[in-house]
Amino acid sequence: MASRTDFGPPNYKEMLPPVIEKNYGQWLYHERVKPGVLKHVAESGDELYTVRVGSSRLVSTDWIRDVCAIADEFCGGHLRFTSRHNLEFLVSDPAKVEPLIAHLKANGFAVGGTGHAISNPVHTQGWIHCHTPATDASGIVKAVMDDLYEYFVDMKLPAYCRISLACCLNMCGAVHCSDVAILGIHRKPPHINHDIVRAKCEIPNVIAACPTGAIRPDPKNKTLTVNEEKCMYCGNCYTMCPGMPVADPVGDGVSIWVGGKISSARTPPKFSRLVIPFLPNNPPRWPEVTDAVRNIVETWASHAHKHERMGEWIDRIGWERFFTLANIPFSVQLIDDFTLASDTYRSTPTFKW
Amino acid sequence: MPNAQDSDTPLLDQLEEGPWPSFVTEIKRSAEKTEAAKDLLRQLERSYNDRIGHWKHGGIVGVKGYGGGVIGRYTDLPEEFPGVAEFHTLRVNMPAGWFYTSDKLRQLCDVWDKHGSGLTNMHGATGDIILLGAPTAALQPCFDDLAEIGFDLGGSGSDMRTPSCCVGPGRCEFACIDTLDLLHSITLEFQDELHRPMFPYKSKIKISGCPNDCVASVARSDFSIVGTWRDNIRINPDEVANYANSDLDIQAEVVNLCPTHCMSWDPAAKNLTIDDAECNRCMHCINVMPKALRVGKEKGATFLVGGKAPIVHGALLSWVIVPFMKVEPPYDEIKDLVRRIWEWWDENGRMRERLGELINRLGMRAFLKAVDLPPVPQMIRAPRANPYYFWDPEEVK
């Protein structure tokens, strides 16, 4: 018998708690009651409390069964996840909010991630399950969030702060528009295995995949060559061709980007900008990365105005001031030389020292 | 935590300490039940020592009738870690807004405990439920059991990737469009495009209910649908006064941060006025005073295209191509527009060229003509600053 196909995901309407079914599209306002707790009030006067907890994103079925049991006890069996891997318990009985929070805290859940906090970092697979990573993902996120935990469980920052991590330039996550982005990078050109290239790769597709035109055909030997001076190690050729691995224990590591945002509130969405071109892979806790991220977050937190996102603060003070305040050395890698690079060069003699 | 000398994984064990939830603990919980999770943990420890990944490149696996939805993954050390010799991923299409009942999630756990490693991502970066680690022989039986409980696969490869949306009218008063219903309708409409890769490269659709864009549609998707409104922000003067009596500084935190300077505040009269014609609907004032200010009543969406991450020719943020459109079931206008754009992209796009890159290569002028959209000033930040522009010969007579 042929399998059933193309029937689509479960209908969300069957997943909604009764208070949402009743008040769908009729919400009036919300309050941030305290860290990790939102209260939404509908035009009908009905209230819905949301208790948000962080998750490790990589979770076992045991964990899912655990949180289902909690949802059964406190939320009539209803829960949801957010776009940043948080878990939300949806509570319609106000009397159950505090017992739920107490239960969660007693069982080691991280309640928080609302308002002017660091929410759960969006991140990728890393060494756990990806074939192109330049670093691990879950390990760095765990180390960074252990270090910055106080900013997840409180709302003491000037504004939202979104940290994201991608383990290579593919960026399976919106890291390129984050307040702080942690990005795995390679620093060595691909190491070509010509036998594999000949056996397994569509050479024109590999050439087309190179953003800098560094790859040329070598028809005589039915393979290709890489102009190493033009290669900036993006790894896209390896995605197309297993004969061109770029990963390397010494070459690989982490870069730090800051000042991006996604929301259009006040200012349009912005890209994050490179501020630290390389930090080493130093598992299991990547201390150079956790120190760098804490320094950037706290420099921003101690200087920004209320509601001012990282990038908005830097736009106000200027990048040259950011580098002095954060005490981050400036290097030539931070000056763009890809397409549209000159858009980022300064054309006025007005700047700060 | 076991003693360091007793443990196979002394480096990873250190990541069980600290307040943030530990993925290592999660892998260990599954490792009590499956060899796959046990070897995943050991291989990851090896990566922590070697500072390099140990997954081989690619490998095509799948289920009958589909060209995507399953990602092949093999260890490069199969003799050392036989439990992950075949450790494939199934991408499972989540319900809109990531809402679940506990019963539904337990059904999912039952299927995954039967066929796979017991490990998941809730959720992957694109939004799917990620079932992490099953051998080749388990894929079809796993999918068949998923189908029994009403879960279908999501996208992978050069297809429409699983679309996602924000919580929308399910729980948010800012929602200007029914993100959940639109998402469900689009996902059902484009099942073929989701399950059978046929495009030059991946194509993503994300839907946010307001310009706060909680699913990062402008940054991350080829098609970004963002709710907005055209009429006036609704003001509740009593709630404005309540905010004024709270610790909110309306002048400093609201009025002074308005990007268009269209607001004014009279503290003596506790009167907030908005020149709505000059408002660009950025959401800041509404975000700060949600009890007092509401989005307008004439709601719809802005439609943007071209957003993407860096590969191949650099990251792009989506560009406005329709400043305002009504968004009502059965959403034919949006579906037709998506189809027209896919057709142009499919015809003109090179291998691994995303929509935004194609528009950059052939020009916005060619794109607008091909998909029959009128040029309007809302599309641009500024007009061109160079004199290198074209005329259609028909226009020069």
User: What pTM, to 2 d.p., does this model score?
Assistant: 0.97
H or E element in which residue A100 lies: helix A97-106
Please say whether the beta carbons of B371 and B364 come within 8 A. Answer: no
How are beta strands A223-226 and A215-218 bridged, if at all? antiparallel
Q: What is the pLDDT of residues B248-258, one digit of tens each?
A: 999 999 999 99
Mutation target to probe the B interface, by most B beta carbons within 10 A, among A263, A285, A286, A305 is A263
Q: Which of residues 136-175 of B touch A (CB under 8 A)?
A: 140, 143-144, 147, 150-152, 164, 166-167, 169-173, 175
The residue assigned the tokens 């035009």 is: A43
The reply to whether residue B259 touches residue A266, judged by beta carbons under 8 angstroms, is yes
What are the pLDDT digits (tens) for B233-248?
Answer: 999 999 999 999 999 9
- Report pLDDT digits (tens) over B338-380: 999 999 999 999 999 999 999 999 999 999 999 999 999 999 9
Give the pLDDT of residue A342: 82
Helix (H) or strand (E) run with residue A80 in it = strand A78-81
Tell me if B147 and A3 make a contact (CB, 8 A cut-off).
yes
CB of B125 less than 8 A from some CB of A: yes
Nearest CA in chain A to B177: A25
Q: Could you give the CA distance from residue B222 to residue B317 in angstroms, rounded to a whole number?
A: 9
Q: What is the 3-state secondary structure (H, E, C) of B277-318?
A: HHCCCCCHHHHHCCCCEECCCCEEEEEEECCECCCCCCCECC
β-sheet with B129-134: strand ranges across: A58-60, B119-122, B129-134, B88-92, B70-71
Mean pLDDT of B178-194: 98
Rg from Cα positions in chain B: 25
Question: Are the Cβ atoms of A9 and B315 closer than 8 angstroms?
Answer: no
Identify which of A297, A286, A209 has the alpha carbon closest to the alpha carbon of residue A255. A286
B5 confidence band (pLDDT: 50, 70, 90)? low
In whole angstroms, give the CA distance from residue A120 to residue A54: 6
Predicted local distance difference test score (pLDDT) of residue B3: 53
Which runs of consecutive H residues, i.e. helices, occur in chain B?
10-13, 23-31, 35-50, 102-115, 136-148, 179-189, 191-195, 217-220, 237-245, 284-288, 332-348, 355-362, 364-371
ipTM above 0.90, yes or no: yes
Chain A residue whose CA is closest to B104: A15
| Interface contact flag, A152 B20, Cβ < 8 Å | yes
Give B4's pLDDT tier (boundaries 50, 70, 90).
low
Compute the distance between CA of residue A137 and CA of residue A204 in angstroms, rounded to an integer.
Answer: 32
Q: Do B310 and A59 touch (CB under 8 A)?
A: no
- Residues B221-240 have a mean pLDDT of 98
* pLDDT above 90: percentage of residues in chain A: 92
Q: What is the CA A241 to chain-centroid distance, rounded?
A: 27
Per the CB < 8 A criterion, the answer to whether B62 and B71 are in contact is no
Cα of A320 to nearest chain B Cα, Å: 24
Mean pLDDT, rounded, for A81-102: 96
Residue to test with chain A: of B38, B46, B47, most A Cβ within 10 A: B47
Name the pLDDT band for A104 (thresholds 50, 70, 90): very high
Give the pLDDT score at A1.
Answer: 47
Q: Quick check: A348 pLDDT over 90? A: no
Per-residue model confidence as pLDDT tens digits over B274-315: 999 999 999 999 999 999 999 999 999 999 999 999 998 999
Cβ within 8 Å, pair B23-A57: yes
Average pLDDT over residues B144-149: 97
CB contact under 8 A, B150 and A127: no
Rounded to an integer, the average pLDDT of B61-88 is 96
Mean predicted lDDT score pLDDT of chain B: 96
pLDDT at B326: 97
Do B119 and A60 make contact, defined as CB atoms within 8 angstroms? yes
% of residues, chain B, pLDDT over 90:
95
- Structure tokens, A331: 């290097």
Distance of CA A321 to the CA centre of its chain: 26
pLDDT of residue A332: 96
pLDDT above 60 (res A124): yes
DSSP summary character for residue A314: H
